[in-house]
Amino acid sequence: MTNEKSYNTLCFNVLNILLGKLDIQICYINRRLFNTVSLAGNLNGHSDLDKDQIVMANCAFIAKNKKTNFIFSFGHQGVDRLQKLSHYVFSIDDNKFKNIHIIIFKDSDALDEARQINKASTYKRSFFTSFYAICEKALEIDRKTYDKLLDNEQGCNKSLHNYKSLASLHKIEIIDNIPVGNKDHKIYKLAFISDDAVDILPGQFIMISTLKEQKAMSKYYKPKILTSLSESVPDILNNLQTRQISFLKRPFGIYRTYHENFDHDYLLKLNIEKELVSVLYIIKARKFEIVYKVLENGIGTNELTRLTEGDKLEILAPLGKIFDLRELVKEDIDEIHIVGGGVGIAPLVYLVQMLRYLNIKTKAFVGVEDYDALIYKNNRVKGHKGPGTDSKIYIDDLTDLGLSRSSDIFLSFLCNTDREQITDLNNVFNGNLVTEPYAEYIKQHKHLKIYTFSCGPVSMMKKVHELTAQYNIKSYVLMEKRMACGIGVCFSCVCKTIKNGETHNSRVCIEGPIIESKQIDWNE
């Protein structure tokens, strides 16, 4: 118990470096969990929760600022207490994110276990962090105090936070495969649910098998003798002789993820200081969406269109280099811009989802062919408007994620479109490439500190690169290439890059897909 108390006390003191900086004040301490003599924090004021018996009995301490009560627990307090408190906070908060339960785990393993999807009923909408993550943040803010605190501690590794998921095969089941726009657009939104948790971080992608029977075929290759070619024979066996079927998996960026117990638009309400939220984790996602365009002779994308609800496939994930958002937290950025053309917008929307979590102001420049290319009938995916309603792809989701239709979204139609159709957006540009309004915007806002991410046709990304270079804006592109393996083995997906004046063929799957645009050899 003494050991536990001193760990708790240390943990509290380290966290207090961060809370102190953010002006989040401690208002209740469960003193029997700590060595009270060495506690750094002073009680300041009180919250409406620190008289609440259930909270007082089960939590470790409470902190608050004007907007939010933060109720902290330690992971080792026992599942019963954690669950009880988690459910209670969930019930009193009423989806407003004014009361936030945060559980601090000792290490990454315990943190990871709590984030598995089978823990959704235990931990409801609790947030998680680890001692290591807190230490790292504290170290960044106030090295001196941090060193003093940890001076006498044994076994505390000072270079700490290396928490990420490794790639593996996951079974998935299709929820929905909805066409977007009219049949000429050939765009689909595919939603699926994974058997287990998949943690896809900004910049990462998945490889998906497009043919549902594929895996089974390769494993049980021994040919079966068919007695009759009845309707029960799977489609692929009928056509196997004449039609080429896919052999490799296909790479896709994620469009959106959904987390159990978190509403589709929870980011509209969540409002935690970015330095605190950058050390917090939530339950891993289970529902995913991708957006794809069917290519004329695309074997894989054509196979994807045949998938229907309940079909089972396999993905390899997560893949690709993680874009470290902590860089953006440190840098104190005014605005993030995303500039996307066509289905290239999709992975940028996911990036926005991750960025909004950190509360960074975001502007979206979206370029599509015409108005129809946005419209789809939304029917099944939970958390949308209801059956059969018209939805606008990209636009509705960006709104869900907290972007304002009147000031944050800039929509360009390549083909002339009846302006009357779009009444709820202020910034609509007709007959324009997305780069034109973007050029205008950054010209007018050159005093701001901006990071730009773009994805779409190469000519578009090149233009964005040139524009951003002109104003010294840090600019990244999401590259797309033909891929075979996705894990750096085959060297198929290379793009020409320049580092220290030397040309390289960089693998998009390992060194990308997010690559700083100035590293790309755009003359290639």
Partner 1 sequence: MNKSLPVKIKNLVLKTPLLTSSGTSGSRDEINLLQNRDRILASLGAFVTKGVSLNKSLGNKEPRIVEVRSGILNSIGLQNKGVKVFFEEDVPELQKYEIPIIVNISAGSVSEFGQLSERIKDLDKNNAISGLEINVSCPNIKKGGAAFGADPLLVEQVVREVKSRVQDSFCIITKLSPNVTDITQIGKAAVNGGTDALSMINTLRGMAIDTDKRKPILGNQIGGLSGPCIKPVGVYMVYECFRKIPECRNRSVPIIGIGGISNYYDVLEYIFAGATATGIGTQWFINTAVFEEIYKDLNDYLNKTHETIENLVGKAHENI
Closer CB to partner 1, residue 111 or residue 149? 111
Q: Which of residues 417-446 bind partner 1 (CB under 8 A)?
A: none
Q: Give min distance, CB of 123 to partner 1, in A.
A: 23
DSSP state of 419: G
Q: For residue 438, give the nearest of 420, 411, 458 by alpha carbon.
A: 411
Which one of the spans 12-20, 293-301, 406-414, 445-453 is the region binding partner 1 (CB under 8 A)?
A: 293-301
Q: Is 491 in the site for partner 1 (CB under 8 A)?
A: yes
Q: Is 239 in the site for partner 1 (CB under 8 A)?
A: no
Q: Is 497 in the site for partner 1 (CB under 8 A)?
A: no
Q: Give min distance, CB of 244 to partner 1, in A.
A: 5
CB-based contact 362:405 (threshold 8 Å):
no
CB-based contact 292:178 (threshold 8 Å):
no
CB-based contact 454:478 (threshold 8 Å):
yes
Q: Give min distance, CB of 271 to partner 1, in A.
A: 35
Cα-based angle 376, 379, 382 (whole degrees, multiple of 5) = 115
Q: For residue 474, give the nearest of 486, 461, 465 by alpha carbon.
A: 465
Among residues 38, 95, 118, 168, which is the contact residue for partner 1, using CB under 8 A?
A: 168
- What string of DSSP letters covers 217-236? HHHT-SPPPPS---TTS-HH
Using left for φ > 0, alpha for ψ between -120 and 50, and beta otherwise, residue 326 falls in: alpha
Which one of the spans 19-27, 97-105, 243-251, 421-429 is the region binding partner 1 (CB under 8 A)?
A: 243-251
Closer CB to partner 1, residue 82 or residue 478? 478
The H-or-E segment that residue 253 falls in is: strand 250-253
Q: Is 208 in the site for partner 1 (CB under 8 A)?
A: no
Work out the number of other CB atoms within 10 angstroms of the CB of residue 145: 17
CB-based contact 506:515 (threshold 8 Å):
yes
Work out the number of other CB atoms within 10 angstroms of the CB of residue 487: 15
Q: Give min distance, CB of 280 to partner 1, in A.
A: 24
CB-based contact 276:219 (threshold 8 Å):
no
Q: Is 415 in the site for partner 1 (CB under 8 A)?
A: no
Closer CB to partner 1, residue 141 or residue 167? 167
Among residues 26, 316, 349, 473, which is the contact residue for partner 1, using CB under 8 A?
A: 316
Q: Give min distance, CB of 491 to partner 1, in A.
A: 5
Q: For residue 149, give the nearest of 23, 17, 326 by alpha carbon.
A: 17
The H-or-E segment that residue 412 falls in is: strand 409-413
Q: Cα separation of 32 and 30, whole Å? A: 6
Using left for φ > 0, alpha for ψ between -120 and 50, and beta otherwise, residue 181 falls in: left
Q: Is 245 in the site for partner 1 (CB under 8 A)?
A: yes
Which one of the spans 5-13, 18-26, 220-228, 407-415 is the region binding partner 1 (CB under 8 A)?
A: 220-228
Q: Give min distance, CB of 184 to partner 1, in A.
A: 18
Collapsing DSSP to helix, strand or coil, 203 comes out as: coil
Q: Give min distance, CB of 9 to partner 1, in A.
A: 36
Which one of the spans 163-171, 231-239, 256-264, 275-283 is the region binding partner 1 (CB under 8 A)?
A: 163-171
Which one of the spans 160-168, 186-194, 259-267, 361-369 is the region binding partner 1 (CB under 8 A)?
A: 160-168
DSSP state of 385: S
Angle between helices 2-21 and 143-150 (to 10 degrees): 180
Which one of the spans 2-10, 182-190, 225-233, 497-505 is the region binding partner 1 (CB under 8 A)?
A: 497-505
Q: Is 169 in the site for partner 1 (CB under 8 A)?
A: yes
Among residues 25, 47, 129, 214, which is the contact residue for partner 1, using CB under 8 A?
A: 214
Among residues 14, 191, 197, 248, which is the contact residue for partner 1, using CB under 8 A?
A: 248
Q: Cα separation of 302 and 84, whole Å? A: 49
Q: Give min distance, CB of 482 to partner 1, in A.
A: 5
Among residues 3, 218, 230, 523, which is the contact residue for partner 1, using CB under 8 A?
A: 218
Q: From residue 79 to residue 98, what is the string marking binding to partner 1 with x (rule CB under 8 A)?
A: --------------------
- The contact set with partner 1 (CB under 8 A) reads 165-169, 209, 214-215, 218-222, 244-249, 296-297, 299, 316, 319, 481-485, 487-492, 494, 503-505, 510
